Every structure is written in structure tokens, then in C-alpha cells.
Amino acid sequence: MNKHHLKRYGAAILASTIMCGSFSISSFANEKNGHWAEATLKQWEADGLIKKDSSGSFHTDDFITRAEFITLTNQALGLTKASDAITQYNDVEPNAWYYHEIAKALAAGYINGTANNKINPLGQITNEQAYSILVRIAKAEGSVDLNLVADQQNISDWARKSIEQAIVSGYVLGNEGKINPTSLLSRAQTITLLDRYKNEDRIFAFPGVYSVKSARNVTVLVDGVTLKDMTISGNLILGPEAKSVKTLNTTIKGTTLRKDKDEIFENLSLTDGIYEGIAQGYSGPVRLQVTIRGGKITDVKVLSQSETPAYWSTVQPILKKIIEKGSADGIDGISGATVSSNAIFNAIADALSQAKGKTKTAGESKAAQETNNEEENNSGYTPTEPKKNDYTGTPLPDGKYVGHATGYGGTITVSVTVKNGVIHNIDVTSHNESSGYYENALAILKKVVEKNSTNVDTISGATVTSKGLLSAIENALSKVKPKEKAEYADGIWYGQGRGHYQFDHIDFNKWKTATEAMVEVKNGKITAVKLVYHGDDAIFERKEGYALIGEHIIKHNSTEKLAEIFAKQDRTNPIYDSITSATNSARGYVAAIEDALNRSAKFKNDKIEQEIRSITLNQHNLNTVHYNETLDLSSLSLHVKYLNGTSVDVPFEKIGDYGITCNLPMRSVPEPIIANNYKEPRNIKLNFHHEKSTCKHHSEIYVSRKNVYKEIAKIVVEETNGTQHEIPVDHNFRYTVKLGDRLFSNATKVTVFDKNNMPLEIEGFQPEPGKNPGIRITLKPLPEPKDSDPVRHAYRFRDYVILFESNIKFDKTKISSFELNTAELKTQYYVGDILNLNALELTATDVNDTKETIRFKDFSAYGFKANPAHGTALTASGSAVVTVSHETLQIPEKSFTIDVSERSAVQYQFELMTPDGRQNPIITITEDEDSYEYELPKKYLDQKIDIYVYAKTSDGDEFFFEPEVSMFNDSDDPNKKYMSVSFEHNDDYKEFTSRVLIIEITFK
């Protein structure tokens, strides 16, 4: 660019920046078809730390109890030592499954009980509680300004210091500046948190200076982060908001990567192979064959499609672009052929879902289920929740009835034929569901006809469509009788309803039952609505939303239209936003209100006094029942509240004396839904009803196949010298053998015996790393049961660890040799830098062949020294030798080399990207240049140009920047534009300042 151009457009550049704002930067890939923590869960499963239950699920999004959190922590850390202090706590029974796990946690010192000697093992755990436990384990130190945390006011006083330490240590995953301290922790969140700790992965979500010495991978989510005195053995990963990261005396041994948030959390790589992808086009399914080589798309073939020829020919170039780029990211669809374009992208995404291991076959991914209707794309609708009505009690008038409800793809319409008073036939007259899932879900129609009820189980693998079909049937039959306007009796009325939980449960050591609501009626009009008791977890309560629901009910004198709002059919209603992520709990509140209104309407009609206000089930331990075992309800009791304010506890055998009935007998043997198919668990309804007052209590009991553990009696380990060790085995997986005054010589043979003293098959054994030598033994898994087997036989643990502890202690006065470990050590320096040996370690061996690992901070205590010393200023370039020796013992010294170089000028590289994915030649400038001229084909004249900026030094270090870009025209030449690129400047690798580059683009 000529100098007069710079002078002439200087003011225009500034004005353009203010008026136009930031120029658009290309977004990163955002494909998320599987669970966000899937990669970590798979790794933990492979490591034997977690297992799926009999239904094949990890229950990843279920909230976790303290006992479950402790168990996962113990397994991740390999803790085995138990504390006798467990006997002090009166809410941990010796026969409880978590008894030994809590004893281990007490021994490790990372948990403590309450003042009244309780652990609260079945209470759920919050984020701040989990962080507090983790910093005690890690012995974390440090502080940070909690004002940076957007919701810091929600942090409990007792947890504030622990939260500071957790943030500084890189354990806290912030989201838009929030940490949600009092939110409950799910199983997936727990496992990813422990995985970060276990693997020394750190994540920094708030601005500040961080120094955690050593880490594997470090992820930075925000701008304004400085990494100081760190050795990163893996990669530095920058999120989209981390425009730049300062590094002071920090070594990055891997690569600096920039990723989207979903990529950061997902981190799933593509496995080479050939995959088939399916998606819905305009005229039918589009089937593609996608080839992955080297983690990229190398070929795409069309297996079948039935699109309109004119549209299909238009979108064919998309396939070529995907192959050329090796990815579908950043490639736009074809205007005028949106549906066919989306079908290609969705089919590619379906294939990549398999390449990432998220799904196993074509058509299983969420992308494959997306509908493509240009006029009305309803994909992503939340299905209408079915009420599970039973029509066997009252004959229905014969005829045909039409009903509508929301499925996955939008509205489902059915025609229900009633003959001889029962459901005779059901036809689906229209829908927008995905073909494969719709065909699977059709099986539910036969179930409804057979049972004359919508109270049937949904179809596995097609749950959303199943719910839509059931709700449409209910909607049709709701029109059998014209709905009469309800008339309400004056007074205070109470009702109960179920929301998120369809069963009673424990929440923070509190027994939670159904949600209860109160409705006040005056002169036949609803004048007040109030939440009396919230039966779901506290985080699901939406007080603002419930207030709006109350206003709506009072205005309409009924609950009409609320179901449509909850189903997202009326997104403009403020109630919709106020109950986001807690819709089911809101439904439970409305169900309780409807129950109260029904009781009011009943009294208006029959004038029969209703004595009972509510029926609830007292806390019980009947949590899980197994098939073919007796379900005994004799231990249950009900808590009955009366409208006069009194209450009474009623044992199960006495409920008939109080006019209460139960749908189950006192004793019964539960059977699977499908005869002799014990693989699938089920929930059995447990309902109590008081007919006179219409008061009822609904709950469920979980029934599943029983796990029977094949117990291990002992493990025999034979050393190379012939010594045998017989280790009795109980319910732990890690054991320590005391060797006395001798050392372990390595294992040559391992035999595992069961309770009958019969040897069991093992897959093998291998050394177990650690301070004490040991071995890890892996058992060969038992055969999986058939569907017809009522029990599942398995080992309690597949892996057992045996450690061998010797009384022969390391003698630092008799060291005979040592080896250096420089794997985590910084070895690349610049002139003027300070020598940093903090990450140096050595392994010393004494005359008894006992080994000890010694960190640099302890070198002097063991008599070791380094030359040049830690903290020495490096004044000359070239290679330098650092020697480690012992100050008094005559043992050979060891050395390693560091490289010291002159600081080089930083080169800035700019990469322009055009809308069609074309990657243009990279611009490279030095620090003293402030302009550059560039040519692009004329077809890009009026299109968006994206730009990426990064600084690169001669030794390969990179800094990534997210620039602010403004573009303006040349007033004299319509084929010329100027791009003002503002970015942070790296001055001598130390300070970052603002800098502006002008790029002159000529379109030819």
C-alpha cells in the first residue's frame, strides 16, 4: 500500500471500526450428537472404574449421592486403607454397600461428618461440596478474586476458601462466568472432575495468573489468563473467548490448539474406516458412504437418494468441497436447495457419529433424525407428555375420534376408532417423524389396543415418537365427551402431583414425596394458588414461573392452555421462559393444582365431606426389588394428614381401616413385562387411594434382574525365587503383602481361587506402578446372561491389585547410583532467562537395591546439588550442560543439556478464508511492517472474508489471536477494499499491546 493511501484513509479506518463493529470470525465445529462426557466415560469403563447397569446405562445425568461420589473417588485414587472412625457415625450401617468406601475416605482424610455424627451418605452432593473435597485431596493452596465469579454470592461462606483454591488449581469448569455452587452434581460431572484431577488436566475459566507447576493438558476458556512457571507436557487448548494467553517461564511440550467449547468438552477423534450415513431429504432418505483416512473425510459416495433431479444436481458441488477440505465444517449449503443441502450435512454427521464411536449403525444419531421440511422445520420439539390413561373402567361411545400431539418432528395426528366401548383401531394420518424411529414406534399402537389404555411402556430407541403417539391418542379420546366447564366449590383445597420424580426419593438426607398445591375458591372463582410442598430437587423449583402459572390459572379459572405452553407450542408466553429446564417439575405443580380443583368440583357435585388432605408414603428402604423375589409391602406405612390439622401414621396392614386401598397386595412376585425376558428393568406402580376424598398417592418401585457376585476366596502369587504369597480376598480389590526384611523379586505365576477352592480364568497380570512394587491381575469376565436368565453372574471386581511392602527402607546415606528424570523439565531458554529446575526429579538406588524418587525441592536434604544452580541467569547463547552430583558420596554424577538462544523477532501470519472454504496463501509480516497488499478473484468482491491471526517465533512457539476486523471500500476504485485488522502485539515475548495492520485487497 502506498503511503498516501495510509494517510488518506487513516480517519476512515477509525470511523469504520466504530460504525461496523467487529468483523465476523469463522465459528468452530459444533457437532454434538452424543453425550458431552462420552469420551471420558468410555475411558473410565475401559479402565474398570465404572460399569453400566443391567439396562446398559451409566445413568450419566442422574444426580449423585455422597456415597457414590466417595466410591468413585476411592476407585480413581486406588484407596484401600480403612478407618475405624466409621463406627462413630450413626447413619452408616455396617451392612450398607458404601460402609467400607466411607471408611476409606475417612482414612484418607478427605471427608468428615457433621456435628451430630452423621455422614449423610445418601444425600446428594453439590458443586461446592465436591470442590471442597477435591482441594482437600489435592492439598491445594492459593487464592483468587471471587468477584470474577458471576454467581459468587451463591457460594456458601464455609466453601469460599475451597472454591478459591479449586479455581487456582484449575479444577473449576466455569460457564459464562458462573460455577453454580449449589447445583447438584451429576454422575458425568463427577467423573470428568475426577478425571481432570487424576490425569493432571487443568482448566482455567477466569482471568488471572496461574502457576500449577506441572500439568498434562491445560485448557483456557477466557481472555486475560497468564500461565507462569509451568511445564505443560501435553497441549495448550484455547477456547473461542481466549483471544490470547500470556506465558511466563512456561514450557509447552505439545501443541497450542484452538477449539470450540463443544470440541473441548467432547474431544472425540475420528476413527479411520468406511461408514454409512442416513438423513431425511425432501423426497426421502439420502444415504451416503463416507470414507475416513487419517482422521479426515477422503471420499463420499452417494448410495441412494430420491431428490428432485434439478435440486440434487445443484447440491452436488457440496460433496466435492467436503472431500477437498476433509471436513463439512464451514461449508455453506446451496441457496434454493436448503433441504437437500441439509440432508447431505446430516448424513455426513450421522456417519461421523459412528467414526467417533457415539453410535454404532447408520441412522442412530440425532442428525439422522432431523426432519427437513422447508415450510415448517419442527425438529427439536419437546414431545407432549402422555398422561397414561386407563380406559377400561368406563365404556367409550363408539365412533372415530381425531387427536393431535407433539412428537420429535412436530405434530402427530391420529384417528382412533372405538367399537363396543373399547379402542378398536388406531391410524396415524399425518406426522413429521424420522422414518426408522417412526416405524419402530408404531408397535406401541398394538399395545394400546390390547390394553385399552395408554398406560403402556414406550418403545426403546423411539421414546420421543412413542410419547407423541400416546398423547395424540389421549387427545383424541378427550373429545369423546364434550368437556363441561367445571364448577368449583368455595373453600381451601389441596392436591398432589408428580413432576420430575415419579417416585419418592431422598434429597440431601430429606425424604421427598409428591408436590402439593393449595387452591382457594371464592364465589366459584379461583382466587389464589400456592405451592405448599415441592417434591422435586430444589434446583428445579421455579418460583417466578410458578407465580406466572398461578396468575394464568386465576385469569382463566382453569389450567387450560398450560399443556400447550409446556410443550413449547406457545413460545411467546412468558411462562415458557420462566420454567426452562424445569418443565417436568412445573407439570407436577400443575398436576397438584388440577388434583385440588378436581376435589373442589367433586364436592360441588356430591356434597360429600372430604376428611383427608393428603396421603404420603413414609421413608422406606424398598428401593430395588428383583425379579422372582417376593415384594413385601408389610414394612411400609402411610402418613395421612386431615383437613382439621391432625395426622396419623398408618401401617400397611391397617390402611383398609382408614378407607385407603392399594393397587398391590401385601406380598407379590414381580414379573417382567415380556414373559421370561429379565434383561429389561421396569417400574411397578404403587398407588394408594382414598375414594371418599379422592385423595391419592402415586409412587413407583424399581424392579430389575439380580446381580449375583461370584466371590473370590484367595489369590496366590509366586515370585521368581519360588516364594508363594496367599492373599485372602474380601470385598476390596487392592491388598498389601508385608514382606518384612526382604524385597519383592517379581511375579512369575498368579492363581485366583473361588470359595470352592477352584481356580478361575484370568486374562493376565502386569506390574503395577507405585512406590511399592505390585501387580495388577485381570480376571476373564463371566459370560453375559441370556435374556431368559433371571440373574446375572459377575465378579465384584475384574481387576485386583497386590502391593508388596518391605521393611527395608531407603537409606540416603548409602546411595549407590541415581538416574535423572527430565521429562517435565524446561530445556529451551532465551538469553536473559532464569534457569528453572523445579520440575527435575531423580531416582536414587541404595546398596540394598531400594529405590526412592526425589524431587528437586528435596535435593539438598538428600545431599544432591546442581551446577549451574537453580535461579542462575543465562547470559550466553548456545548449549549449556547442567550437572547433578552428590555432595559427599562418591557416586557417578549425571548431566543433561539445555539450549539457550537469542530472542528472535516475532513473525505474524494471517490466513484469509473465503466463503467456499478456499484457504488462500498465508500472509507473513515482521514486527516493523504495518501494511500488506493482497489479490483475490473478483467473485469474492461482495462476500464475507474471514481472517485468522497468529504470531510465530523461530523456535516454533505460537500465539493465537482473535482480531477485530473492519472492511471499507476504496472511493476511487470499486474493485479495491481495505481491511483494518486490530490485534494484540507481542513485544519481545513479554508484553502484549494493541496493533493495527492494513491489508489492501484487489479483486481481479
The pLDDT tens digits for 896-920 are 999 888 765 556 666 676 666 555 6
Is 1002's pLDDT higher than 80? Answer: no
User: What is the pLDDT at residue 39?
Assistant: 64
H or E stretch covering 706:
strand 706-710
- Helix axis angle for 338-355 and 309-325, nearest 10°, is 40
CATH topology assigned to domain 273-355: Sufe protein. Chain: A (3.90.1010)
353 pLDDT tier (thresholds 50, 70, 90)? confident
Q: What is the mean pLDDT of residues 368-372?
A: 62
Instruction: Answer with the residue of higher pLDDT: 929 or 782.
Output: 782
The domain defined by 610-704 folds into Immunoglobulin-like (2.60.40)
What does the pLDDT read at residue 880? 93
Give the residue-averaged pLDDT of 233-247: 81
| Residue 43 clears pLDDT 60, i.e. is over it | yes
764 grid coordinates: 493376565
Q: Which of 303, 305, 315, 299 is nearest to 276 (CA)?
A: 303
Angle between helices 127-138 and 66-77 (to 10 degrees): 30
For residue 497, what is the DSSP state? E
Higher-confidence residue of 234 and 843: namely: 843
Band (pLDDT 50/70/90 cuts) for residue 997 is low
At residue 191, the 3 state secondary structure works out as: helix
pTM reported for the whole predicted model = 0.41
Average pLDDT, the chain: 78
Q: What is the pLDDT of residues 668-721, one digit of tens each?
A: 998 888 888 898 888 888 889 888 888 888 888 888 888 888 989 999 999 998
What are the CA-CA distances from residue 792 to residues 43, 342, 678, 755, 778 (Å)? 24, 45, 10, 18, 20
Rounded Cα distance, 533 and 616, in Å? 12
Query: Per-residue confidence at 838, pLDDT binned at 50, 70, 90?
Result: confident
Q: For 603-626, what is the mean pLDDT?
A: 84
For the residues 44-57, what does the mean pLDDT come to? Answer: 68
Give the span between the Cα atoms of 587 and 597, in whole angstroms. Answer: 15
Per-residue exposure over 390-402, b if at least 16 CB sit within 10 Å of its own CB, e if not: ebeeeebeeeebe
Quick one: cell of 837?
A: 529446575
Q: Which three cell numbers stand for residue 281?
A: 431429504
The answer to whether 844 and 813 have CB atoms below 8 angstroms apart is no
Fold of the domain spanning 485-608: Sufe protein. Chain: A (3.90.1010)
What is the per-residue pLDDT across 851-883, written as a single tens digit (0 to 9) for each?
Answer: 888 989 899 999 999 999 999 999 998 999 999
Q: Residue 445: which pLDDT band, with cuts at 50, 70 and 90?
A: very high
User: Which residue, 146, 145, 198, is CA-closest to 171?
Assistant: 198
Question: What does the alpha-carbon distance between residue 310 and residue 313 come to, in Å, rounded to a whole number?
Answer: 5
Residues near 792 by beta carbon (within 8 Å), at least 6 away in sequence: 54, 705, 706, 707, 708, 784, 785
Measured CA to CA, the distance from residue 856 to residue 862 in angstroms comes to 10
Burial class from Cβ neighbours inside 10 Å (0-12, 13-18, 19+) for residue 97 reads exposed
**Residue 926 in this model has a pLDDT that exceeds 60:** no
The span from the CA of 204 to the CA of 206, in Å, is: 6
CA distances from 267 to 31, 37, 357, 733 (A): 11, 9, 12, 31
174-183, 368-377, 944-953: which has the minimum mean pLDDT? 368-377
> For residue 56, what are the contacts with CB-CB under 8 A and spacing of at least 6?
none
Report how far apart, in Å, the C-alpha atoms of 788 and of each of 649, 670, 791, 792 are.
41, 15, 9, 10
- Say which range, 23-37, 72-86, 449-463, has the weakest mean pLDDT: 23-37
Name the fold adopted by 812-901.
Answer: Immunoglobulin-like (2.60.40)
